[in-house]
Amino acid sequence: MTASASKVEALRRLARRGPVRSRDLAASGIPRSYLARLVARGELEQASRGLYRAPDAEVTELHSLVEVSLRVPHATICLLSALQAHGLTTEVPHAVWVMIDTRSRTPKLESPAIEIVRAHGPAREHGVERRRIEGVEVRITSPAKTVADCFRYRRHVGNEVAIAALRDYLALSRRRDRPAHVTIDALVAAAQADRVSTVIRPYLEALA
30 or 28: which leads in pLDDT: 30
**Model confidence pTM above 0.85:** no
> DSSP per residue over the chain, as a string?
--HHHHHHHHHHHHHHHS-EEGGGGGGGT--THHHHHHHHHTS-EEEETTEEE-TT----TTHHHHHHHHHSTT-EE-HHHHHHHTTS-S---SSEEEEEETTSPPP--SSS-EEEEEE-THHHHTTEEEEEETTEEEEEE-HHHHHHHHHHTHHHH-HHHHHHHHHHHHHHHTSTT--TT-SHHHHHHHHHHHT-HHHHHHHHHHH-
90-112 pLDDT per residue, tens? 888 999 999 999 999 999 888 88
Q: In the chain, what are the domain boundaries?
A: 3-53, 63-207
Under 8 Å between Cβ of 22 and 35: yes
pLDDT value at 183 more than 80:
yes
Predicted local confidence at residue 17, as pLDDT:
66
pLDDT value at 10 more than 80:
no
